[in-house]
Amino acid sequence: MKKVLFIILMCTALPVMAADAEKSQVAVTQQAIENKLLSNTERENEILKEQSLQSKINSIGYKILNANKITKPIVFTYTVEHKPLLPVDTSVTKRQVIIYDEYFKYTENDDEIAALLAREISKAVRSYDGAWGGWISGAQIKMAPKKYEIFADKRAVDYMVYAGYNPIGLITLIHKIYPQKRYDTISYTNLTSKRLAFIYEYIFIKYPQFLINNVYINNDTYQNFLLDSVDNRLKLKQKLESGSTISPKYE
C-alpha cells in the first residue's frame, strides 16, 4: 500500500518538478541574455570613451605638428593595453606615437596632454634625422640616453609654446608620472628632479612670461614641485647672479 502511495505521489510531483525545471532554465536563459546585453553596453561605452580620447589626442597632436611646421608623417594611437609605468623605450625609430592609458590617466588638462604628446613627437621626429632612414640617429639616442632625454624635454617645451600650450604642464606631468630614483649614476635616465630642474631653467630663461604670469601657481602638483626643487632653483639663481654659462650640477 505504501509503495502504491509513493508511486502516486511521484507521478503527481513529476509535472511540478518539470515545470520548476523549465522555469529555472528560462530564468537562467533570461539572466544570460541580460548579462550579454549589459556586457555589450559596457563595451560600447568603453569604445565610445576610447574614441573620444583618441579624438582628443589627435586634435592636440596635429595642432602641435602643424604649429611647429613638422613635415614628417606621425600618427597617434591611444591604447588601454597594460604596460609598465616605466617601460624600456624600444621605439626610438618608430613614427607612431603610442599613448598608453597608464600614462594618460595622469593628465588633468590640455597642457599636460600636449606635454605627453610633445615629448613623444620629439622622439618620432628625431627618428627621421640622419642617414639610413633615421637608424643612425636612433642608435645615437641609445648611446647617450641621458643627454637626449634632456634635449627631448627642452624641445617638448618649444613644441608646446609654439602650439599655444603652457610648458609648465610638462613640469606637473613629469612630477606626477616619474618617481624619484635613488641615484642615476649607472642608470639610462636622469633623476626626475634633475630633468625638472633643466626644464624649469629652460622655461625661466627662454619663456619667462609663463613664470611671471603663472596660472599654475595654485596648482597642488606645481606647489609640491616648488617644495621639492628649492635646492636646484637656488643653484639656478646663483648661476644667473654670477653670469656663469656653465650648467649647475642639479641633483
The confidence band for 28, taking pLDDT boundaries of 50, 70 and 90, is low
In a domain, 13, yes or no: no
> The cell 626626475 sits on which residue?
192
In a domain, 32, yes or no: no
Q: Please, how many CA atoms are within 13 Å of residue 96, restricted to the half-sphere of its CB? A: 7
Question: Which pTM value belongs to this model?
Answer: 0.75
Q: How many other C-beta atoms are found inside a 10 Å radius of the C-beta of residue 141?
A: 22
Least confident span in 153-167, 199-213, 220-234, 236-250 = 236-250
Q: Side chain identity at 10, as an amino acid letter? A: M
pLDDT value of residue 86:
47
The answer to whether residue 49 scores a pLDDT higher than 90 is no
The answer to whether residue 40 scores a pLDDT higher than 80 is no
Least confident span in 31-35, 78-82, 164-168, 198-202 = 31-35
Quick one: cell of 42? 559596457
> The cell 618649444 sits on which residue?
158
In a domain, 198, yes or no: yes
In a domain, 77, yes or no: yes
Identify whether the C-beta of residue 138 lies closer than 8 Å to the C-beta of residue 152.
Answer: no
Under DSSP, the state recorded for 236 is H
77-119: pLDDT as tens digits: 888 876 544 444 454 456 788 888 888 899 999 999 999 999 9
In a domain, 130, yes or no: yes
The percentage of residues in the chain with a pLDDT greater than 70, rounded to a whole number, is: 70
Q: Residue 102 belongs to what domain range?
A: 50-242
Q: Please, how many CA atoms are within 13 Å of residue 223, restricted to the half-sphere of its CB? A: 4
171: Cβ–Cβ under 8 A, 6 or more apart, which residues?
196, 199, 200, 203, 216, 222, 225
Under DSSP, the state recorded for 247 is P
Q: Which residue has the higher pLDDT, 10 or 22?
A: 22
Report how far residue 49's alpha carbon sits from residue 7's, in angstroms, rounded to the nearest whole number.
Answer: 62
pLDDT value of residue 48:
81
Chain-centre distance of CA 193, in angstroms? 19
The answer to whether residue 61 scores a pLDDT higher than 50 is yes
pLDDT value of residue 149:
87
Under DSSP, the state recorded for 248 is P
Average pLDDT score over the chain: 81
- Number of independent structural domains in the chain: 1
Report how far residue 69's alpha carbon sits from residue 49's, in angstroms, rounded to the nearest whole number.
Answer: 30
Identify whether the C-beta of residue 159 lies closer than 8 Å to the C-beta of residue 105.
Answer: no
The answer to whether residue 181 scores a pLDDT higher than 80 is no
Under DSSP, the state recorded for 135 is H
Report how far residue 138's alpha carbon sits from residue 140's, in angstroms, rounded to the nearest whole number.
Answer: 5
In a domain, 19, yes or no: no
Report how far residue 12's alpha carbon sits from residue 30's, in angstroms, rounded to the nearest whole number.
Answer: 28
pLDDT value of residue 123:
83
In a domain, 95, yes or no: yes
Q: Which residue has the higher pLDDT, 6 or 29?
A: 29
The confidence band for 33, taking pLDDT boundaries of 50, 70 and 90, is low
The confidence band for 185, taking pLDDT boundaries of 50, 70 and 90, is low
In a domain, 41, yes or no: no
121-156: pLDDT as tens digits: 988 887 776 544 444 455 555 655 678 889 899 999
